[in-house]
């Protein structure tokens, strides 16, 4: 069989619509993203409401950007855990897919908001996507492994 016949055979087997597994994978990543966005946005609103952060149209002091950077970190990891928990298979891959989405969103945010805060804040938002996703995915993997017998048993 030559290369053209191989390609034609693989194209002929390609489904017209996404499989159920693909839809569940997308839903898992979206679920983690929505959970992360909802919680971090709610916490930001509370921090503004209690006067810890200034009103939305006022630039924060650089020291407050440390708080703005730190408080979403556990929520990002929890969002990745949710993604890994909802994943139909390969929880770490799904968590890291959410991390990739986070890197893209962080990059777009850095481009849009570059002049509204310190540069380190924008760059840190990009940098934390994969580490937080890995932590969330790893927690799920370890949780899943607890009930499994060890290889030596």
Virtual torsion, Cα 34, 119, 93, 86, nearest 10 deg: -20
What share of the chain has pLDDT > 90, as a percent?
75
- Give the integer Cα–Cα distance in Å for 112 and 106: 10
Residue with tokens 């503004």: 48
Residue 75's Cα: distance from chain center in Å? Answer: 10
In a domain, 134, yes or no: yes
In a domain, 9, yes or no: no
- Give the integer Cα–Cα distance in Å for 84 and 78: 10
Domain carrying residue 28: 22-145
In a domain, 3, yes or no: no
In a domain, 66, yes or no: yes
In a domain, 79, yes or no: yes
In a domain, 140, yes or no: yes
Q: For the segment 33-86, what is each residue's pLDDT rounded down to a tens digit?
A: 999 999 999 999 999 999 999 998 899 999 999 999 999 999 999 999 999 999
In a domain, 49, yes or no: yes
CB 79, CB 98: distance < 8 Å: yes
- Confidence check: pLDDT of 151 > 90: no
- Give the integer Cα–Cα distance in Å for 77 and 138: 10
In a domain, 55, yes or no: yes
Report how many domains make up the chain. 1
């Amino acid at each position: 069989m030559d290369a053209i016949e191989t390609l034609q055979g693989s194209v002929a087997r390609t489904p017209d619509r996404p499989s159920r597994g693909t839809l569940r994978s997308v839903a898992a990543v979206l679920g983690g993203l929505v959970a992360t966005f909802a919680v971090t946005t709610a916490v930001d609103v509370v921090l503004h409401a209690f006067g810890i952060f200034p009103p939305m149209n006022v630039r924060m002091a650089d020291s407050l950007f440390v708080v703005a950077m730190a408080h979403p970190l556990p929520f990002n990891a929890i969002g990745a855990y949710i993604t890994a928990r909802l994943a139909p298979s390969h929880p770490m891959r799904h968590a890291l897919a959410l991390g990739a989405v986070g890197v893209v969103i962080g990059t777009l945010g850095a481009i849009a908001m570059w002049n509204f805060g310190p540069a380190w804040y924008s760059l840190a938002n990009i940098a934390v996507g994969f580490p937080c996703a890995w932590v969330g995915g790893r927690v799920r993997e370890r949780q899943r492994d607890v009930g499994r017998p060890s290889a030596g048993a």
